[in-house]
Amino acid sequence: MSHEKRTLEFFVLTAFFALFVLFLYGPLSAILILSFQGPDGGLTFPLNGVSLHWFANLFERQAVGDFGGSFRRSLTLGLMVMAVTVVVSLLAGLAFRQKFRGATALFYLSVASLVVPSIVISLGIGVVFQQLGLRPSWYGSAFGAHLTWTLPFGVLIMFAVFNRFSPAYEEAARDLGATSWQTFYHVVLPIIAPSLIGVGLFGFTLSYDEFARTLMTSGTFNTLPLEIYGMTTNVTTPVLYALGTVTTGFSFLVIAATLGAIVYVGRRRART
Amino acid sequence: MTALAEERATVTTGQSARPRLPSLARIVPYLQAMPLTLILGAFLLLPILMIAVVSFWDYDFAAMYPDFLLTNYTDTLGSWVTWKTYLNTLKFAVIVWGLTLFIGFWVAYYLAFHIRTAAMQMVLFLVCTVPFLTSNIIRMISWIPVLGRNGLVNSTLVSMGIVPAPIEWLLYSEFAVVLAMVHLYTLFMVTPIFNTLMRIDRALIEAARDAGANGWQVLWHVIIPLAKPGMAIGTIFVVTLVMADFSTVQVMSGGQSASVALMMKNQMSLLQYPAAAANAVVLLVLVLLMVAGILRVVDIRKEL
């Protein structure tokens, strides 16, 4: 591209991008810093000493409700949603490679799942369970509610992956005498592995952070986002920030681990 | 078709024919699509149908009674509060859409055209993505120490002598709602636009330059028209997310502003499910109409 015109536009946009990144991370870093607030400190700057007081406070059960239990529930639910999202999206992606009756309808149903307001789904599942006489629970109704949010992402990603997937590899494998299962396991699966890991990351984090769809469907026990939401209205100490720091740190760990896995899979593939 | 071709292949190569029924290959895609169909059927279609049914039911403080009444709709649509709430929600949608489109386009444009190495592009894109994979509620709360009465912005402005007293409307106001929504949803605009920009054939831009177009002309006549599908997909995400939002409105406005979903949530907490269901139907129809309108501009299947 033309270099003489690039300079001004480049610097303006670099500044714009830097501001955007500051906008994204500034507030997050504010609560990160404030979660180390001293025991007498408040919800805003300045820091009144530095301590781990609020983190300790977090693990005292009576102080902030059931943080440990809700974290365990959210973690389990996230892993369940992740596993189902990966498997179901992969199968659906494979299905969409062939022609079958209802393919277009199913595709648009997935898109609809993405655009239907989450509170409508929450209400609908709540009413269905009530009318069927079932007890809503985080591992039942909320599990299904989360899947309506994670599956469309998974399916659309797999759809995009297979759109770019050259059938030449499979044909080559078949010419060499591989069965269809061998072709899938030794050829298709390794090629799409990084995308599947990405779908898993989406499934887990979207479920782990999901709030609106859990609202009417979680039953007696809260998931972590519900617990945090409850805290926003009645907790006025930095323990709220400590919880924010811990959960955000956990999210970062999950993302880092996933990216590590993708890089590892890519390297291993490059070597063989 | 495929079964036929396979049959012919085994015949010509003389391989030992696998004992496979010709119909098996044909039902494979149906089996593969089944789990998705079942889950969406049970947790998306059935609940929506149920809402549509319940929206005609009667109710009192204790229970719902199967019936065919239009009062839930006439009560909702006949109320001035409902119309104001819908207008308020649409207002948020339009403002947030405009801001995320502007920010999203320039961020995506910068990443796609000004960052030269693919590795750096990936790193910067991830920098933009990571916050969106963390909790929305935590990201809302994180504005409190920044915008609050004694927050960073106010204390800086006061100590610099720009304002005599802390500005009250920074937090718990419609300004805060819009700011938080832009903060939460911009990535949904950046990603699809970045995706379409990366697929623009760079030769088109060179051709435009060779034909004498200046930078703005290239942007206006070549890049933006080609980026429209990405903008449309981003718009679908942002508009539907804002139309469905209640937690941002509730937390960031401090209860001073309303949205349709928040109104529904309040009805639900009062156990007025049929009233909430009528609202849900109206909201759903409105959102689907908006999406259908956008889908006339773009074919999603081609953009993936």
pLDDT for B295 equals: 86
Give yes or no for A82 touching B (CB within 8 A): no
Question: Has residue B72 got a pLDDT over 50?
Answer: yes
Mutate to test the interface with A, among B36, B206, B210, B270 (most CBs of A within 10 A): B36
Tokens of A162: 């297979």
Partnered with residue A219 across adjacent β-strands are: A137
pLDDT for B13 equals: 43
Q: What percent of chain A has pLDDT over 70?
A: 96
Best CA proximity match to B242, nearest among B19, B88, B129, B122: B88
Q: What is the mean pLDDT of chain A?
A: 85
Best CA proximity match to B106, nearest among A46, A202, A19: A19
A107 vs B60, residue with greater confidence: A107
pLDDT for B94 equals: 96
Nearest chain A CA: its distance from B304 CA (Å): 5
In angstroms, the CA B116 to CA B112 distance is 8
Assign residue B161 a region (left: φ > 0; alpha: ψ between -120 and 50; beta: otherwise): left
DSSP structural state of residue A136: P
Q: What is the mean pLDDT of chain B?
A: 85
Tokens of A212: 């609106």
DSSP structural state of residue A226: H
In angstroms, the CA A132 to CA B249 distance is 33
In angstroms, the CA B174 to CA A85 distance is 36
Question: Please, which residues 109-168 of chain A have a Cβ atom closer than 8 Å to chain B?
Answer: 109-121, 123-128, 131, 144-145, 147-148, 151, 155-156, 159-160, 163
CB B108 within 8 A of CB B187: no
Q: What is the pLDDT of residues A49-64, one digit of tens each?
A: 777 878 877 777 555 5
Residues listed for chain B? 304
Show the CA angle centred on residue A145, arms to residues B84 and A80, nearest 5°: 150
In angstroms, the CA A188 to CA A90 distance is 11
| Interchain CB contacts (distance < 8 Å): A and B | 260
Of A27, A113, A126, the CB nearest to B142: A27
pLDDT for A155 equals: 93
CB B69 within 8 A of CB B60: no
Mean pLDDT value of segment B62-82: 83
Q: Domain residues of chain A, as ranges? A: 68-271
Residue A137 has φ and ψ, to the nearest 5°, of -150, 160
pLDDT for B4 equals: 44
A224: confidence class by pLDDT, cuts 50, 70, 90: confident
Show the CA angle centred on residue B295, arms to residues B290 and B299, nearest 5°: 165
Q: What percent of chain A has pLDDT over 90?
A: 26
In angstroms, the CA A145 to CA B12 distance is 51
User: Which domains does chain B possess?
Assistant: 80-303 (1.10.3720.10)
Q: What is the pLDDT of residues A7-36, one digit of tens each?
A: 788 899 999 999 999 999 988 888 888 888
Residue that is written with structure tokens 């909702």 in the block: B76
Mutate to test the interface with A, among B48, B107, B133, B182 (most CBs of A within 10 A): B133
Question: Has residue B6 got a pLDDT over 50?
Answer: no
Q: What Rg value do the Cα atoms of chain B yield, rounded? A: 26
Mean pLDDT value of segment B150-157: 84
Residue that is written with structure tokens 């591989």 in the block: A178
Question: Has residue A181 got a pLDDT over 80?
Answer: yes
Contacts B197 to A, Cβ<8 Å: none
Give yes or no for A14 touching B (CB within 8 A): yes
Q: Of A173-187, B155-169, B270-284, which gets the smallest average pLDDT? A: B155-169
Nearest chain B CA: its distance from A3 CA (Å): 11
Residue B65 has φ and ψ, to the nearest 5°, of -125, 125
Best CA proximity match to B92, nearest among B192, B240, B236: B240
Tokens of A27: 């507030």
Contacts B135 to A, Cβ<8 Å: 208-209, 225, 228, 244, 247-248, 251
User: Measured over all CA atoms, what is the biggest interatomic distance in chain A, rounded to whole angstroms?
Assistant: 73
In angstroms, the CA A191 to CA A265 distance is 10
B238 vs A259, residue with greater confidence: B238
Q: What percent of chain B has pLDDT over 70?
A: 92
B92: confidence class by pLDDT, cuts 50, 70, 90: very high
Residue B189 has φ and ψ, to the nearest 5°, of -90, -40
Nearest chain B CA: its distance from A226 CA (Å): 9
Model pTM score: 0.86
Query: Please, what CATH class does the domain formed by A68-271 belong to?
Result: mainly alpha
Best CA proximity match to A91, nearest among B174, B282, B31: B31
pLDDT for B9 equals: 43
Contacts A240 to B, Cβ<8 Å: 141
How far is CA B59 from its chain centroid?
33
Cross-chain Cβ contact B215/A21 below 8 Å: no
DSSP one-letter string for A183-224: HIIIIIHHHHHHHHHHHHHHHHHHHHH--TTTTTTSBTSPPH
Residues listed for chain A? 272
Question: Has residue A234 got a pLDDT over 90?
Answer: no
How far is CA A24 from its chain centroid?
18
Best CA proximity match to A245, nearest among A28, A22, A21: A28
Mean pLDDT value of segment A231-247: 81
DSSP one-letter string for B181-217: HHHHHTHHHHHHHHHHHHTS-HHHHHHHHHTT--HHH
Of B29, B141, B183, the CB nearest to A95: B29
Q: What Rg value do the Cα atoms of chain A yield, rounded? A: 23
Question: Has residue A238 got a pLDDT over 90?
Answer: no
In angstroms, the CA B93 to CA B87 distance is 10
CB A199 within 8 A of CB A154: yes
Q: What is the pLDDT of residues A114-154, one digit of tens each?
A: 899 999 999 999 999 988 888 888 888 999 999 999 999 99
pLDDT for A1 equals: 45
Tokens of B257: 């502003």
Question: Has residue B297 got a pLDDT over 90?
Answer: no
Q: What is the pLDDT of residues A69-102, one digit of tens each?
A: 888 899 999 999 999 999 999 999 999 988 888 8
Q: What percent of chain B has pLDDT over 90?
A: 36
- What is the number of other CB atoms lying within 10 angstroms of the CB of residue A184? 14
Q: Of B125-129, B236-240, B285-289, which gets the smallest average pLDDT? A: B125-129
Q: Cite the DSSP H helix spans in chain B.
A: 2-13, 22-40, 46-54, 71-77, 80-109, 118-129, 136-141, 144-147, 152-159, 174-185, 187-198, 202-210, 215-218, 224-243, 247-253, 260-269, 273-295, 300-303
CB A47 within 8 A of CB A36: yes
Question: Has residue A211 got a pLDDT over 80?
Answer: yes
Question: Please, which residues 92-111 of chain B have a Cβ atom closer than 8 Å to chain A?
Answer: 103, 106-107, 109-111
CB B111 within 8 A of CB B196: no
Question: Has residue A4 got a pLDDT over 50?
Answer: no
